[in-house]
Amino acid sequence: MEAQNIRTAAVAGMFYPGEPATLIQEVGAMLGAVPPAPTFAAAPPKALIVPHAGYVYSGPVAASAFALLAPHAATIRRVVLLGPCHRVAVRGLAVPQSRFFATPLGKVPLDSAAIDQALQLQQVVRLEDAHADEHSLEVQLPFLQQVLGDFSLVPFAVGYATPDEVAEVLELLWGGPETLIVISSDLSHYHPYADAQRRDQYTADEIMHLHLLLDHEQACGATPINGLIEVAQRRGLQPHLLDLRNSGDTAGDKSRVVGYASFAFTAAGHA
């Protein structure tokens, strides 16, 4: 019965190392390579946008956001994590049946009370299949485990939904400084290097101006990003671009690249 309550790692050994010691070393090296935190990071960020490719491609870009959390590990106790569905079609936002998400670094407990609360919204459904093989959420967990230690997780696999529907979920679970929101998204896919740079710079500028993205060609996680942007507009959050690169910068091949960016959103007064 316990095994049925655990969502086991689906992409360990593919997107990131499957051996715990190697994973700890690799994540630690990426976090350690991040430059000193900017001044706005004195307060914990309320939300992050981070990429979700294999670590060799997007890990250093994701690390630029997760490194900001280290001084606030004692404060952040819950992570609301949203990423796009890549394998299963979903209407709305799907939560899992599982009670734990596992990686080579151990089990992360899910916040069952928060999930039950979200299920009161009509756009939230319980669908284990949407999570079983989904990498967009899983690849964030080793970073969170290494930086935060103990925390609970509220994971959403986001399918066909409106920005308003995503924003309603975020508002419901907004909480205080103990709650961090993480949006998982890559940017453009499979364009030549210079074209991707142009496209991704435009997308990054739109996010920095809190403009809703037009389509999923800009970002595969455009739906959860747009939900966050709606809430950021209402709550006066300030976005900060931390890193903007693509797979041609991190892994070498510049013929067809995937874009990655990391952003932090801070409350007014911590800009």
Q: Write the pLDDT tens digit of every residue in 72-81.
A: 999 999 999 9
Instruction: Please state, in angstroms and rounded to a whole number, the distance separating the CA atoms of residues 174 and 216.
Output: 25
Give the predicted TM-score (pTM) of the model.
Answer: 0.96
The pLDDT of residue 3: 53
Q: Write out pLDDT tens, residues 48-66.
A: 999 999 999 999 999 999 9
Confidence bin at 232 (pLDDT 50/70/90): very high
Confidence bin at 41 (pLDDT 50/70/90): confident
Instruction: Please state, in angstroms and rounded to a whole number, the distance separating the CA atoms of residues 49 and 263.
Output: 5
Percent of the chain past pLDDT 90, that is, above it, reads: 91
- Report CA Rg, the chain: 17
Q: Which of 266, 265, 264, 259 is nearest to 52 (CA)?
A: 259
The pLDDT of residue 268: 74
Extended beta strands in 17-111, E state? 47-50, 78-84, 93-95, 100-103, 106-109
Q: Is the pLDDT of residue 34 over 70?
A: yes
The predicted model gives 212-234 an average pLDDT of 96
Q: Determine the distance from the C-alpha atom of residue 39 to the mean position of all C-alpha atoms in its chain, rounded to a whole number.
A: 22
The mean predicted confidence, pLDDT, of the chain is 95
Q: Are 201 and 194 in contact (CB under 8 A)?
A: no
Q: Write out pLDDT tens, residues 128-152.
A: 999 999 999 999 999 999 999 999 9
Q: Is the pLDDT of residue 206 over 50?
A: yes
H or E segment and range at residue 62: helix 55-66
The predicted model gives 232-242 an average pLDDT of 97
The predicted model gives 233-259 an average pLDDT of 95
Q: Which CATH architecture has domain 3-34+42-257?
A: 3-Layer(aba) Sandwich (3.40)
Q: Are 173 and 118 in contact (CB under 8 A)?
A: yes
Confidence bin at 269 (pLDDT 50/70/90): low
Question: How many CA within 13 A on the CB side of residue 43?
Answer: 15
Q: Is the pLDDT of residue 1 over 60?
A: no
The pLDDT of residue 42: 81
The pLDDT of residue 55: 98
Q: Write out pLDDT tens, residues 170-194.
A: 999 999 999 999 999 999 999 999 9
Write the CA distances from 98 to 2, 163, 169, 254, integer angstroms: 9, 26, 19, 40
Question: Cβ contacts of residue 257 below 8 Å, gap of 6+?
Answer: 190, 191, 192, 193, 196, 246, 247, 248
Domain layout of the chain by residue ranges: 3-34+42-257
The predicted model gives 164-174 an average pLDDT of 98
